[in-house]
Structure 1
Amino acid sequence: MNIFKYIKYNINNKQIEKINKFYKIYKKYIINKINLISIKSYKNFFINHILYSLSILNIIKFKYNTKILDYGTGGGFPGIPLAIILPNVKFTLIDTIKKKIKILKFIIKKINLKNIKLLNIQGEKIKLKFDFILSRYIKNINNIYLKMNKNINKISKNKYNNGFFFYKGNDFFLKNIKYYKIFKLYNYINLNFFKKKNIIYIKNI
């Protein structure tokens, strides 16, 4: 399946080759039972991880030099696939599990990604500023929003004002958050996996 046809973005052959190289390196870790992602989800790697990560590009085209934090990156999603497709955007990926960050550093070196910084740190302790904070794995949106809005740059340059994008199913809860928008991904990608998948944008105030 050509998953890239579902993304409204000009993705070139070199970027697709780099995505495929990323997949092959990942495969070695799964075979060696290093738990970057679950074996079950790896079987649908390109839809569950690559296409899901890139789905945000149907919503926003990040401008040159936009600074993005991938909060709790886990196995490198959505940060690494996005960094491959967006070489002029600066990504910082953080996670509290040192082993995962160490492996991800090896992976990005192998696929020659220059626009990623990897940090083994708790999000609340980071002092850098970003235009957007993305997260796929966090459970409590409200908690991250309250703790991390201090890390959002005040001046916006993209289609949407600086803020947060959360990748979530239908089991999310928003409390005392006024400025948000829910994008149902099945409206953009009509595959079964996306029927209950959303991207939630929250404007920073």
Structure 2
Amino acid sequence: MELILKYFPSLTDIQKERFARLKDIYADWNSRINVISRKDMDAFYEHHVLHSLAIGRFIQFTDGTKIIDIGTGGGFPGIPLAILFPNADFTLIDSIGKKIKVVQAVAEDLGLENVDACQSRSEQFKGKFDFIVSRAVTALPTFVSQSRHLIGIKQANAISNGILYLKGGDITAEIQPFQKTLSVIELATYFKEPFFDTKKLVHLSL
């Protein structure tokens, strides 16, 4: 939890309380439904919460921004971002029902009224959003083809509508088709922990 306060020192009391409770809530659910690897629970705030919040260092979502988290798994990056941006609206989807069950329970436990979670594949989902967020569920070209229909055209933020994709390793080949509409941010510019040395945030305008 100290790690979150290190990089986000101006959280409100309710945000601090929600972030502080996250690990225990996930540990409890993880004992029943395995949504986070056991070894990762030891580095929960670094590997899951802070990693998700990298998007919050790149953009401050305006009030009313509509965001969809595709392939959310146990709720990342959607749940931490929903805590950070209580006046933005988050829809979290995943094709696996038991993971969505956990997400719904976590959101309810924390009193997150800006989170809606449902079981669905992105290709079949309908709606219009300002941003798609995700932690690398597939190669970027495949992800774009499956989800770009969800991006709306009305702009309400400092950066253009599109995909905010958290990715690791060498992404040279998969970003090649999007060079003119894409920017890559090295997360080591935001966070000093070695875990982030190879982690990136990709913003693709759509």
Show the counterpart of 1:118.
117
Please provide the CA RMSD for this pair: 1.5
Question: Tell me, what secondary structure is at the counterpart of 2:46?
Answer: helix
Q: Are residues 159 and 9 of structure 1, via their aligned partners in 2, closer, same or farther at CA, if it must alter by over 3 Å?
A: farther
> In structure 2, what residue type is equivalent to 1:20?
A
Q: Give the direction of change, closer, same or farther, for the CA distance of 1:16–1:168 in structure 2 (3 Å limit).
A: same
Q: Distance in 1 between matches of 2:160 and 2:175?
A: 19
CA distance in 2, matches of 1:113, 1:23: 16
Structure 1 counterpart of 2:138? 139
Which residue is 2:185 aligned to? 183
**2:198 is matched with which residue?**
196
How many angstroms apart in 1 are the aligned matches of 2:42 and 2:125?
34
TM-score, length basis structure 1: 0.94
Aligned residues of 1:95 and 1:101 also touching (Cα < 8 A): yes
Output the amino acid matched with 1:26: Y
1:6–1:188: 8 Å Cα contact kept in structure 2? no
Q: Are 1:127 and 2:129 matched, yes or no? A: no
Question: Between the two proteins, what is the percent identity of the paired residues?
Answer: 35
Name the counterpart of 2:37: 38
Q: 1:144 to 1:127 in 2, by over 3 A?
A: same
Q: Runs of 4 or more off by more than 2 Å in structure 1?
A: 4-10
Tell me, in whole angstroms, the C-alpha distance in 2 between the residues paired with 1:129 and 1:6: 34
C-alpha deviation, 1:13, in angstroms: 2.2
**d(CA) in 1 for partners of 2:111 and 2:197?**
34
**Bigger shift: residues 20-29 or 95-104:** 20-29
Give the Cα separation in 2 of the matches to 1:42 and 1:122: 27
Which blocks of at least 5 consecutive residues in structure 2 are unaligned? Answer: none
